[in-house]
Amino acid sequence: DIQMTQSPSSLSASVGDRVTITCRASQSISTYLNWYQQKPGKAPTFLIYAASNVQSGVPSRFSGSGSGTDFTLTISSLQPEDFATYYCQQSHSPPWTFGPGTKVDIQ
Amino acid sequence: EVQLVESGGGLVQPGGSLRLSCAASGFNFDDYAMHWVRQVPGKGLEWVSGISWNSGSLRFADSVMGRFTISRDNAKKSLFLQMRSLRPEDMALYYCVKDLGRDITLVTMHHWGQGTRVIVSS
């Protein structure tokens, strides 16, 4: 199975900050990497697919990059509604595994 | 608007069975693969099982292989998860998830329901 790790596990930031979250796969997954956002008490929502393609309707401050084993999710200017937990997920091969999540909270 | 509404969760004793259902609306159900993903409260996400658009391909996580069965009824726009021999570690919130594509390859979890809670306890 492909293991996914994320760093940091949590971070504190202020509105307007640039935030970067890293996701690493245990083997190369090309660009088969998705990102999701989950707010407390809510289901996850889909943000980015194939490492860098932002889902329609997702604000342009969200971006993704990377290939192979190392990926990043960047929020260019953090907004109040962005405080949440972010998960990466590899879509390369089954079982489709998620990272453990990165919680972004208010500093 | 895509809507996925899960039902069937509840309290079950270890070794018992439960059948989860998901009612889909707002999209052409028979054009998309579907999945079940679970989450222990306060913990991460675990993909459980997936089924292709025509039920031709099924996949399961090792943790549920041989105990869980996934099925769908395209005419009724419904997804099911039959769970048997339930264990305490199966206790979680179970989400019904619509894929971005038809097949269970390059799985991308496009839309999520709100989940149904499964409690396994004596």
SS3 of chain A = CCCEEEECCEEEECCCCCEEEEEEECCCCCCCEEEEEECCCCCCEEEEECCCEECCCCCCCEEEEEECCEEEEEECCCCHHHCEEEEEEECCCCCCCECCCEEEEEC
pLDDT at B104: 93
Tell me if A44 and B112 make a contact (CB, 8 A cut-off): yes
Closest-CA residue of A relative to B45 is: A98
pLDDT digits (tens, 9 = 90+) for B63-116: 999 999 999 999 999 999 999 999 999 999 999 999 999 999 989 999 999 999
CB contact B109 to A (< 8 Å):
yes
Per-residue burial over B29-65, b if 16 or more Cβ lie within 10 Å, else e, is beebbbbbbbbeeeebbbbbbbbbbeeeeebbbeebe
CA B82 from centre of chain? 9
Q: Which of A91, A95, A99 sits opposite B61 (nearest CB)?
A: A95
Instruction: Return the number of CB contacts < 8 Å for A and B.
Output: 51
CB contact B30 to A (< 8 Å):
no
Residue A107 has pLDDT above 90, yes or no: no
pLDDT at A40: 94
User: Residue B45 — φ and ψ, nearest 5°?
Assistant: -100, 140
CB contact B59 to A (< 8 Å):
yes
Q: Which of A87, A91, A101 sits opposite B106 (nearest CB)?
A: A91
pLDDT digits (tens, 9 = 90+) for B5-34: 999 999 999 999 999 999 999 999 999 999
Around Cβ A45, how many Cβ atoms within 10 Å?
Answer: 17
Q: Which two tokens stand for residue A75?
A: 């929020």
Q: Which residue has the tokens 């895509």?
A: B2
Closest-CA residue of A relative to B100 is: A49
Per-residue burial over A17-39, b if 16 or more Cβ lie within 10 Å, else e, is eebebbbbbeeebebbbbbbbbe
CB-CB contact of B32 with B51 (8 Å)? no
**pLDDT mean over A29-58:** 97
Tell me if B110 and A46 make a contact (CB, 8 A cut-off): yes
pLDDT digits (tens, 9 = 90+) for A4-34: 999 999 999 999 999 999 999 999 999 999 9
